[in-house]
Amino acid sequence: MTGFTFQNLCMIGVGALLLYLAIEKNFEPNLLLAMGFGTILANLPMSSALDQTVGGEVLEGALSLLFNAGVANELFPLLIFIAVGAMCDFTPLISNPRMFIFGLTAQVGIFLTMGVAILLGFDIKEAASIGIIGAADGPTAIYVANRFAQHLFAPISVAAYTYMAMVPLIQPPVIKLMTTKKERAMSMTYVERPVSRRTLILFPIAVTAAAGLIAPASVALIGFLMFGNLLRVSGVTDRLSQAAQNELANIVTILLGLAISRKMTGPEFANAKTLLIVGMGLFAFVFDTVGGVLSAKLLNIFLPEGSKVNPMIGAAGISAFPMASRVTQRLGQEANRGNFLLMHAVGANVAGQIGSVIAGGVLLAWLGG
C-alpha cells in the first residue's frame, strides 16, 4: 500500500470499533482485539506491516507474512480446531444422542443464505463462502472462504467472529419470537448416564471415520477437532490437552487475528459488497436459530409426554460454544426460575460444533474445494 485514501480512513475506524467491542463490550476479545489493532496497522500510510516495493524489490510485511504462513495454507484454523476439540466435553451429547438432531438442523441458515446470495448475483462458490458464516464457527468459515472466495475473506471472517460474539444479543429476540413463555418454561429432567472411558475414546475416532465417509473433504477439519478431543479423553496426554486448551489456543488466536487483518485494507473491505455480506451473515445466524427451534417443535409432535424437548434446546444446536447453551439456560430461568436446561443445551451445542464442520466439508465436497 503506497497511498492513503478515504477507504483506509474508514478502515481505521473499523479497527477502532473492533477494539471498542473487544475492550468495552467483551465481544470475542481474544480475537477481535488482535483483528482491530491489525486493521489499524494495515491501513496506516506506507505501512510496513504490508508488502512494500522499494527500489524494485518487494519487501514482505509482517501481516502479509502471517497471512501467507498460517491462513493461505489453512494452518491456523486447523490448529485452532485442536484447541477447540480439547475444550469440548462430549459426555452430555453421548448421554443423550438425540441432541445430534439439533446439531444438524441448526445449520439450515447456511443453505438458506446460499440461496439468497445466489439470487443477489454471487456465484455458487461465493454464496457457499457467505453462507458458511451461519456455521457460527470462525475457523470453518475461514477454511471454506479461503478455498472458494479469497477476495471475500475479510468481511466473511469479521462477520463470522463478530456474530459469534454477539450470540447473546442475536438469539434471545429470535427465540422469544418463535416460542411462547410456556414453551420456554418447559423443564427437562437430566439423567446423567455414565459414559465409559472406552466410549469417550472411541467417539472421536468413530465421528472422524463417519464424517470422512460422508464428506471426505471434511477430514482435515473434523480430524483436527477430534484429535484435540482425543488428547482430552485419552487419559495419558493431560499435559498436551492443557497445552492445547491454553498455550496453543492463545498463541494461534493472536496470530490468526493479526493475519486476518492483512485482508482488512480499505480497497478490499470498505465497499457496498461488504455491507451486503455482513447483512447476509446476520440472516444466516437468525435462520440457524429458527431452524433449530422449529426442528425441536417438530420432534415434540412424535415424542410422548414426559420426554418432550424444550424448543430452545434446538437453538443451542448452532456451533457458537458455549454462548448458545448459556443463552438457552438464561432464557429458561427467566421463564421458570427452577428450570435447568444447561446440560441438555451443552449436548446440542457440541453437536452443533460437529455439525458445522460437517456442513463445511459437504460444501467443499459438493463444490470441489
Which segment of 111-120, 128-137, 185-194, 277-286 scores lowest on mean pLDDT? 185-194
* Confidence check: pLDDT of 307 > 60: yes
- Contact partners, residue 290, CB within 8 Å, separation at least 6: 108, 109, 174, 178
- Contact partners, residue 275, CB within 8 Å, separation at least 6: none
Report, as an integer, the average pLDDT of 61-66. 93
Amino acid of residue 13? G
- Most confident among 135-149, 154-168, 238-252 (mean pLDDT): 238-252
Predicted confidence at residue 296, as pLDDT, reads: 95
- Most confident among 93-97, 234-238, 302-306 (mean pLDDT): 234-238
- Which CA distances in Å does 229 have to 113, 124, 171, 360, 363? 31, 33, 27, 19, 24
Of 279, 316, 273, nearest in space to 99 by CA: 316
Question: Is residue 180 a contact partner of residue 327, using CB atoms and an 8 Å limit?
Answer: no
Question: Is residue 296 a contact partner of residue 311, using CB atoms and an 8 Å limit?
Answer: yes
Rounded Cα distance between 24 and 18, Å, is: 10
* Confidence check: pLDDT of 39 > 90: yes
Report, as an integer, the average pLDDT of 337-350. 92
DSSP, res 238: H
3-class secondary structure, 111: helix
Handedness of CA 87, 92, 96, 102 (dihedral sign): negative
Q: In the structure, what pLDDT confidence band is assigned to residue 52 with cuts at 50, 70 and 90?
A: confident
Report, as an integer, the average pLDDT of 48-77. 88
Predicted confidence at residue 369, as pLDDT, reads: 55
DSSP, res 319: S
Q: In the structure, what pLDDT confidence band is assigned to residue 244 with cuts at 50, 70 and 90?
A: very high
Report, as an integer, the average pLDDT of 324-329. 92
Handedness of CA 306, 103, 27, 343 (dihedral sign): positive
Q: Which residue has the higher pLDDT, 276 or 194?
A: 276
Predicted confidence at residue 2, as pLDDT, reads: 52
- Which CA distances in Å does 8 have to 4, 15, 58, 155, 266? 6, 10, 21, 15, 4
Q: In the structure, what pLDDT confidence band is assigned to residue 1 with cuts at 50, 70 and 90?
A: very low
Q: Which residue has the higher pLDDT, 85 or 161?
A: 85
- Which CA distances in Å does 235 have to 15, 198, 232, 240? 42, 11, 7, 11
Q: What is the mean pLDDT of the chain?
A: 91
Predicted confidence at residue 26, as pLDDT, reads: 86
Rounded Cα distance between 244 and 86, Å, is: 6
- pTM for this predicted structure: 0.87
Q: In the structure, what pLDDT confidence band is assigned to residue 286 with cuts at 50, 70 and 90?
A: very high
* Confidence check: pLDDT of 214 > 90: no
Distance of CA 277 to the CA centre of its chain: 16
Rounded Cα distance between 136 and 325, Å, is: 13
Rounded Cα distance between 228 and 245, Å, is: 9
Neighbours of 246 (CB within 10 A): 13
